């Protein structure tokens, strides 16, 4: 390869460089496109979830009981939250793919660190203090969003199960057998398990078709 480059004309070298520059620009554009879309979807999902929380609170605070409507809103909130987690996971998966490709391209085409942008860091230890209120720290925004959305999903699932249990106990002949004080922790535990199962099944059902893509098997480190 080095021997071939030695006998290339200046025009051929320029053409090769232009091709690499265009490929690099496309990689950056794809990475930025996915990052921008992740932010848009996050805002959309959180707006829907916030509206559902407001609807649930309005129903719950109403003088008239709306038990079945509360349950319906809680179920919708749970389904939307599961969809939000799967969407964020999907975008995070693709975002990681694009940034890995950018890193791989830079390391193989820009030998000097000064030529790189995305595969270098200025100083990993600078401005990295989690206890300092006016300093930054090394935290992944995508991971935080996933953690918060998972918590919200478990909370919606707890609401749905709690409302279901209350309706069941009100109509059940043995409604005094199970005290309401233990319904919440039981509902939360079931919601956690149910959320993990639904995420696993959802990832299987809605996975992207990668059959036409070659896997470069780029080392993770």
pLDDT in tens, 163-174: 998 888 777 655
Q: How many other CB atoms are there within 10 angstroms of residue 181's CB atom?
A: 7
Q: Per the domain annotation, does 82 fall within a domain?
A: yes
Instruction: Report the domain count for the chain.
Output: 1
Closest alpha carbon to 73 in 164, 194, 182, 190: 164
On whether residue 218 sits in a domain, the answer given is no
Mean pLDDT within 51-75: 89
Task: Note the pLDDT of residue 104.
Answer: 85
How many Cβ atoms from other residues are within 10 Å of residue 197's Cβ? 10
Q: What is the pLDDT of residue 149?
A: 95
Percentage of the residues of the chain whose pLDDT score is greater than 70: 88
Q: Could you tell me if residue 165 is inside a domain?
A: yes
- Give the domain extent around 51: 17-205
Q: Is residue 212 in some structural domain?
A: no
Q: Half-sphere exposure of residue 155, counting CA atoms within 13 Å on the CB side?
A: 12
Q: Exposed, middle or buried, 85 (CB in 10 Å: 0-12/13-18/19+)?
A: buried
pLDDT band at residue 52 under the 50/70/90 scheme: very high
| Under 8 Å between Cβ of 56 and 72 | no
Which residue reads 């030998």 in tokens?
A: 111
Q: How far apart are the first and last CA of the chain?
A: 26
User: 185, 181, 157: which is closest to 169 by C-alpha?
Assistant: 181
The whole-angstrom separation of Cα 5 and Cα 170 is 81
The model's pTM is: 0.83
Could you give phi then psi for residue 13, rounded to 5 degrees? -65, -40
- In a domain, residue 195? The reply is yes
Query: CA dist 184 to 7, 70, 158, 160, 172, Å?
Result: 75, 16, 7, 11, 18
Q: What's the whole-number mean pLDDT along residues 117-145?
A: 86
* pLDDT tens digits along 178-215: 666 788 899 999 999 999 999 999 999 999 888 888 88
**Helix 10-61 / helix 141-171 crossing angle, nearest 10 deg:** 30
Q: What is the pLDDT of residue 165?
A: 87
Residue 144's pLDDT band, with cuts at 50, 70 and 90, is very high
Q: Say if 190 falls within a structural domain.
A: yes
Contact 135, 32 (CB under 8 A): no
Could you tell me if residue 29 is inside a domain? yes
- Residue 112 counted as domain residue: yes
The answer on pLDDT for 41 being more than 70 is yes
């Amino acid at each position: 390869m080095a021997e071939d480059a030695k006998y290339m004309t200046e025009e051929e070298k320029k053409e090769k460089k232009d091709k690499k520059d265009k490929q690099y620009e496309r990689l950056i554009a794809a990475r930025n496109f996915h990052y921008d879309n992740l932010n848009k979807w996050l805002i959309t999902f959180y707006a829907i979830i916030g509206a559902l929380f407001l609807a649930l609170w309005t129903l719950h605070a109403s003088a008239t009981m709306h038990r079945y409507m509360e349950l319906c809103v809680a179920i919708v909130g749970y389904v939307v939250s599961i969809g939000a987690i799967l969407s964020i996971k999907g975008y995070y998966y693709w975002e990681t793919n694009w940034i890995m490709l950018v890193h791989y391209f830079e390391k193989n085409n820009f030998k000097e660190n000064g030529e790189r942008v995305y595969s270098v860091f200025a100083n990993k230890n600078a401005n990295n203090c989690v206890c300092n209120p006016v300093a930054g720290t090394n935290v992944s925004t995508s991971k935080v969003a996933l953690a918060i959305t998972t918590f919200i999903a478990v909370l919606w699932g707890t609401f749905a199960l709690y409302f279901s249990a209350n309706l069941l106990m009100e109509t059940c002949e043995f409604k005094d057998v199970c005290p309401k004080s233990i319904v919440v922790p039981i509902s939360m535990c079931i919601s956690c398990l149910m959320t993990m199962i639904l995420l696993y099944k959802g990832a299987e059902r809605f996975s992207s078709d990668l059959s036409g893509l070659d896997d470069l098997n780029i080392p993770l480190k």
